[in-house]
Structure 1
C-alpha cells in the first residue's frame, strides 16, 4: 500500500474505479504497484538515451506519486459505459454515443445513466479554458496536421510499440495483421487531424464526438483485457491503457515545443505556443486525462513526460512489440493502387522510418526498423518540398495575413481526411463523424 501525500484527489479517483465499475475492477488491486512501474535506479527504464536526469526524477516524490497513480487510472466515466457492451453490443453503444454527441443525451431513448455521466463529464468547462485561444491553437496545429504529419504518421505510431507493457493492449485487439495495422494508423491520424478543424472541439463539433468515440474504444479495450483475456496479468501490467500511457500521444505536440523552450532557457510560452498549448491541453481534457498530467508551463510538461519514461520498466518483446512494428511497416496506407498512390505510400514509409530512427537512434535497428539507402534518397529528394512548404505556411499562418494560407491548409487537410476515408461532409466546421 502506497502513501498518498501530494495527489489525494487523484488517488481517490483511482480507488473509485472499483466502486463505479465493480464488474470491471472488482478483482483488481488498485493499491498495488505493478511490475511495469519501477523506481529502482539499477533497473533499465524507457527513458530515452540523452536524458540523464533519471536520478533526479526518481528522487522527486511528488512526480513519482503522480506517475504511480496515473499508472492505475483508467477512465472513471467511459469505463462504466463500455461495460454495458454485453447488454447493448458495440454497435448499440456507438449509436447511442453518436446521438448524444450530435443531438444531446436527451435525444437518446432510455439513455443509460452511464452515458449521461460520460457526456456530462465532457461538457464540464475547466476554469482555465479560453475557447478563443483553443481555436487559435487549432489553426496553428492544422498546418502540421495537413502538411507534415501525413509524412510521418507511421513513424509516430511505431513509437507506441516500443515497450511491451504499453503495447500489449494493442496486441490484444488483434492489430497484428497488415490490414488491421493500416486501419489503426489511419483512424489515429484521422482523429488528430479532425480535431484541428474550425469549431471541432465545440460541444457539438466533430472533434468532440470523435474524442468521445476514442474514449469508448479505449474503454472497451480495457474491459476486454480485464474480463476476457487470459494474457492480461494485473500484477505485471496493472490497468490496461492507463492514463499515464495516453498522455504521450495526446501531449506530444506541446512536449516538442516545451523541449525547445527549455533548451532555450525559456520558462514561458510564446504567443503561438501558448495557443497550441491551450488547444492540445483541452483536447487531452476531453480525452479524459486528469489535469494533474496537463501542466501549464514548458518545464512541467517536460518533467511529466520524462517521469513517465523514467518509471516505465524497459522491455521489448519481439512477439508483441516486434510483430506490431513489422505489421505497421508492412501496412499499405493509401486509398488506391495507382502509380501515384504507390509512390506516395513509399515516400511516407521512408519519412516514417527516418523519423523513428532519428528519435530512437541506434536502438531502432533492434526494434526492427532499419533505414535503407532508398529511404535516405527519397527523404532527400522530397525534403525541399515537404519541409519548405511546411515552414513557409507555418510562418505565414503566424502573421497578420494568415487567412489565405489558412484556407489553403484547410483545403489540403480536408483532402487528406477524404483520403483517410472520412466523409467530406463531416469535415465542415460543425460536421459530425459517423459511428
Structure 2
C-alpha cells in the first residue's frame, strides 16, 4: 500500500490545526465580488458577471473594477498547470466508467454524511426537502462537465460551471451567516476552505479508489487525476497552501480535513436515508418495481463495501452483504485489462465510460441532465439572486 500511495500517512497535529483554521476561512475573491453585486444591484451585476464568464471580460464595456479584478485572477492560469496532464486526468476518470459514479455516490456522498459539520448547512439549504438523489444528480452533472473534452479550458463547460458553483458557495455563506440559527463559533463558515478541499479531494482520489473496485488504474493515471483535481480546486477557490500535488498528499489532507468534523447525528441519518431510498423513486420503462429494488440493494451493497459496516450503522442504514462489488470486481478487472492491452482499447474505454456516466446521471433523477440546480438555485435557496 505504501508503494501505491507514495509512503506512509502520518498524523500531523500542525496540519490538523491548519485544517481547523480553514473552517473559518472563505473564498475571499468571490466573497468580495458577491458583496459588490449586492451593493451595485444584484441582478444587473450578475448579468455582467455572466457575460464576462461566457464571452470574456473584454466583452463588457466599461467593466467595473471589481469584476475586472476577479476575472484577471481566474483568466490567468497558474504556471504549474499542465493542461495536457489535466486532460489525461479527465480521460482517466471517463475510462473508469460507471465505477466513478458509484464511488462518488456510494462512498463520498454517503460517507460524507458521517461528517456532521457538512450536514447543518445542507439542511439549511433545503437538501433534505430537495432529496439527496436530486442533489447528487446535480453535483454529478457538474463533475461530468469538468471531465468533458476540454471541460476545464477557460471557456469549457466545466470551467464555467465551476465558477458558477463558486459563486453559489459565496452566496450561501452570505445568506446563512446572517441566519441566527447558524452558530459560526461552533460550525465555522457554512462553506469554508477545509470543507471545499475535502469535497474536491473526493474527485481527485477517484482514480486511486477505482482500484478497490477492480479498475487497474495506473500510477500515471492517478497522478494525472490528482493534477486535474488540483486545478479544479484552484478554479473553485481553494487557497494555494491547500492545493495538493500527489496522491500521498491528497490522502493526507483528506484524513486531516475530515478529522475536524464530529461523526453521525440525526441530520446524518436523515440525509443518508434520503439518498438510500432514492433508487426506489427512479423511472424505468420496463420492470420498474424489480429494477428499483435491485438498484436500491446494489447501492447499499456498494456503500457497505466502501463506507463499511460501522459507518452504515452510524448512518442508521442496514449493513447488507457487499454482494454487488464482490460479484463484479473480477469481471470488471478482466474487461478493463483486456481493453487497455488492445490497440485503441483505452480510447474505447474512455468513450464508453463517458456514455455510461451520462446515462446514469440522467437516470438518478428525471430531468437532472445539467448542473442547473446548483448553478441556478430556485427562489427558496439561500443563493438565489
Whether TM-score is above 0.5 comes out as: yes
Summarize the Cα distance change of 1:326–1:343 in structure 2 as closer, same or farther, 3 Å threshold.
same
Normalised TM-score (structure 1) = 0.70
1:6-405 to structure 2, matched below 5 A, reads: 56-58=11-13, 61=14, 63-83=15-35, 86=38, 95-108=47-60, 111-144=63-96, 146-155=97-106, 156-177=108-129, 179-227=130-178, 229-255=179-205, 270-310=219-259, 312-318=260-266, 320-332=267-279, 336-339=283-286, 343-358=290-305, 359-372=307-320, 379=324, 383-384=327-328, 388-389=331-332, 392-393=335-336, 396=339, 401=344, 402-405=346-349
**Aligned counterparts of 2:230 and 2:163: Cα–Cα separation in 1:** 16
How far the C-alpha of 1:166 sits from its partner, in A, is: 2.3
Summarize the Cα distance change of 1:251–1:366 in structure 2 as closer, same or farther, 3 Å threshold.
closer
Normalised TM-score (structure 2) = 0.78
**Aligned counterparts of 2:376 and 2:123: Cα–Cα separation in 1:** 26
Pick which of 218-227 and 109-118 moved more.
Answer: 109-118
Deviations 1:355-381 (A, max 9, x none): 3333243242132121347xx55x269
Asked whether the 8 Å contact 1:98–1:434 carries over to 2, the reply is no
Summarize the Cα distance change of 1:354–1:243 in structure 2 as closer, same or farther, 3 Å threshold.
farther
SS of the equivalent of 1:125 reads coil
Deviations 1:241-275 (A, max 9, x none): 111112122112444666899xxxxxxx9322222
**Aligned counterparts of 1:93 and 1:334: Cα–Cα separation in 2:** 39
How far the C-alpha of 1:64 sits from its partner, in A, is: 3.3
**Aligned counterparts of 1:91 and 1:388: Cα–Cα separation in 2:** 52
SS of the equivalent of 1:339 reads coil
How far the C-alpha of 1:286 sits from its partner, in A, is: 0.9
**Aligned counterparts of 1:278 and 1:167: Cα–Cα separation in 2:** 28
Asked whether the 8 Å contact 2:152–2:158 carries over to 1, the reply is yes
Asked whether the 8 Å contact 2:31–2:170 carries over to 1, the reply is yes
Deviations 1:285-318 (A, max 9, x none): 11111232222233322222222233x1424331
CA RMSD of aligned residues (A): 3.6
**Aligned counterparts of 1:184 and 1:196: Cα–Cα separation in 2:** 19
Asked whether the 8 Å contact 1:133–1:278 carries over to 2, the reply is yes
How far the C-alpha of 1:69 sits from its partner, in A, is: 3.1
Deviations 1:314-364 (A, max 9, x none): 24331x222222222233587635335665554443343233333243242
**Aligned counterparts of 1:370 and 1:220: Cα–Cα separation in 2:** 37
SS of the equivalent of 1:74 reads coil
Asked whether the 8 Å contact 2:339–2:349 carries over to 1, the reply is yes
- Structure 2: where are the runs of 5+ without partners? 1-7, 212-217, 378-385
**Aligned counterparts of 2:89 and 2:158: Cα–Cα separation in 1:** 14
SS of the equivalent of 1:73 reads coil
Asked whether the 8 Å contact 2:48–2:60 carries over to 1, the reply is yes
Asked whether the 8 Å contact 1:71–1:238 carries over to 2, the reply is yes
Aligned residue pairs total: 356
